[in-house]
């Protein structure tokens, strides 16, 4: 089991107990240091108190279960307004929302395509871009994230 899956398995009930939901778990190297990040969400938005409550509840559990050999920094963050969509359930939840699709190679001269999410199936993302509907294959898509319009 990957570190992120293992941490998610014991973090989810703790986060739920604090009135939030687990959006994502990230374990990444930045420079010479490693970071374990929990991204949380809740109806009406996450604030610093939510992040602190989850962090305090998780610290002793991480110490006890010791899922990561070596040292790392632990952070609890809001999933954010412009969060990345990764799982099929994320795409279903935000069907019809404004998104930005980042591509590996330019399409129509651009690598970032803003549009409205109209479909998701087996990694293929369908967007309404202006007056046309465009489907990008999984192999073309680097990232899909929500887009906030002001």
Mean predicted confidence (pLDDT) in 108-131:
95
The count of other CB atoms within 10 Å of the CB of residue 21 is 15
pLDDT of residue 130: 92
Helix axes 3-17, 48-65, angle to 10 degrees: 130
Q: What percent of the chain has pLDDT over 70?
A: 100
pLDDT band at residue 1 using 50, 70 and 90 as cut-offs:
confident
What's the rounded Cα separation, in Å, for the pair 150 and 135? 26
pLDDT digits (tens, 9 = 90+) for 78-95: 999 899 999 999 999 999
pLDDT of residue 60: 96
Domain ranges of the chain: 3-78, 88-146
Q: Which CATH class is domain 88-146?
A: mainly beta
pLDDT exceeds cutoff 80 at 150: no
What's the rounded Cα separation, in Å, for the pair 11 and 57? 9
pLDDT digits (tens, 9 = 90+) for 56-78: 999 999 999 999 988 999 999 99
Q: Which CATH class is domain 3-78?
A: alpha beta
DSSP 8: H
Write phi, then psi, for 7 (nearest 5 degrees): -65, -40
Query: Would you call 61 exposed, middle or buried from its count of C-beta atoms within 10 A (0-12, 13-18, 19+)?
Result: middle
3-state secondary structure labels for all residues of 32-68: CEEEEEEEEECCCCCCHHHHHHHHHHHHHHHHHHCCC
Query: Would you call 45 exposed, middle or buried from its count of C-beta atoms within 10 A (0-12, 13-18, 19+)?
Result: exposed
Mean pLDDT of the chain: 94
Mean predicted confidence (pLDDT) in 108-127:
96
Contact 18, 50 (CB under 8 A): yes
The pTM assigned to this predicted structure is: 0.80
pLDDT band at residue 112 using 50, 70 and 90 as cut-offs:
very high
pLDDT digits (tens, 9 = 90+) for 6-45: 999 999 999 999 999 999 999 999 999 999 999 999 998 9
């Amino acid at each position: 089991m990957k570190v992120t899956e293992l941490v998610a398995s014991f973090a989810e009930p703790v986060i739920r107990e604090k009135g939030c939901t687990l959006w994502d778990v990230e374990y990444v190297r930045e420079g010479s240091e490693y970071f374990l990040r929990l991204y949380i969400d809740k109806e009406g938005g996450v604030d610093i108190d939510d992040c602190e409550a989850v962090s305090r509840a998780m610290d002793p559990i991480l110490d006890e279960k010791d899922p990561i050999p070596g040292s790392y920094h632990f952070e609890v963050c809001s999933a954010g307004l412009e969060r990345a969509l990764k799982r099929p359930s994320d795409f279903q939840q935000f069907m019809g929302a404004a998104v930005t699709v980042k591509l590996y190679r330019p399409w129509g001269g651009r690598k970032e395509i803003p549009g409205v999410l109209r479909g998701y199936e087996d990694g293929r993302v369908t967007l309404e871009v202006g007056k046309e509907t465009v489907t990008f294959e999984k192999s073309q898509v680097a990232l899909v994230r929500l887009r906030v319009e002001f």
